[in-house]
Amino acid sequence: MKGKIIDFRLRPPTAPYKGFFPEGIVRFANFRFEVDTPESYEKSLESEEGAADQAALELLYKEIDNAGIRYGVMNGRHSHLLGLSCHVSDDYIAELAAQSGDRLLGLAGVDGSKPIPETVADVEKAVKELGLKGLCIEPGLFEKPLYADDESLMPIYEKCNELEVPILFMTGPFAGPDITYTDPVQFQHVAEAFPDLPLVLGHGAYPFVNEAIGVALKCSAIGSGGVFLSPDVYVFAAGGNLYVKGIQWLPDRFLFASAYPFGNCEQLVERSLALPLDEEAMARYMYENAEDLLGL
């Protein structure tokens, strides 16, 4: 198992990401999920960029290797939350991936302030020219928040469907101004409109655990795409045991992630490998489903 694992939500400890992950928030998250703050993140606090970024990345690569992670999946983002903002460009993601020694893969991000036709063109460039593996979109964190099934976003989904690449949605309790922005039914609507387009719900649409599992089940029968859940650290949150039952029940619909820096890669891998799952479900969860979605 180790050496094959794919971490589907990993935000590198570099300056562009740290605007969204200040020290207090990271330490709170690590405390809440009972994991140590990653040493690589600690190293990144020494300065805003440059040498400290590179030193932190080298430590991250060691942590990934020690955890048995084959690939970490990072994403571009242009998001606003609790007075924080984060702008990570597709070009930057592609550069990090190229410099990672084949450890990091990238997903493009969506800038909600851009006109939709420009965003559609950006997606095509990211996949065809930059080699990114899909798209991450966080509509509830746009400057003017949207629900995922807003009609204005449909051309973006149509382009991903045409390119045959998955979409990762930001969900969870902090995915918008209130938790209605993570209600799984809106992702069901998108999946029904594009039945062959894989949709991944990062943070597993927590706290709507049962509802998310129900949507994943319902949408698994409508086409070759459907809804996948990547509950990451929320497997270890209150009520997260239901995700574990879901993984065993729907093994082809779940993806492992650490949510680094909200999770320590090594600890989260060890805790995940100790979950009460049979061998087939564990393999699907830890790497096989991600391999299929990313075309690896």
Tell me the C-alpha distance between 190 and 195, whole Å.
Answer: 8
pLDDT score recorded for residue 223:
85
What are the angstrom distances between the C-alpha of 85 and each of 81, 110, 118? 6, 14, 21
Cα end-to-end distance, the chain, whole Å:
16
Distance CA 65, CA 157 (A): 34
Amino acid 112 reads G
pLDDT band at 213 (very low <50, low <70, confident <90, very high): very high
**What is the structure's pLDDT at 46?**
80
Q: What is the pLDDT of residue 236?
A: 96
Per-residue pLDDT tens over the stretch 248-273: 999 999 999 999 999 899 999 999 99
Q: What pTM did the predictor assign?
A: 0.95
Q: Are 202 and 167 in contact (CB under 8 A)?
A: no
- Given a cut of 70, whether residue 52 has pLDDT beyond it is no
| Topology (CATH level 3) of domain 5-294 | TIM Barrel (3.20.20)
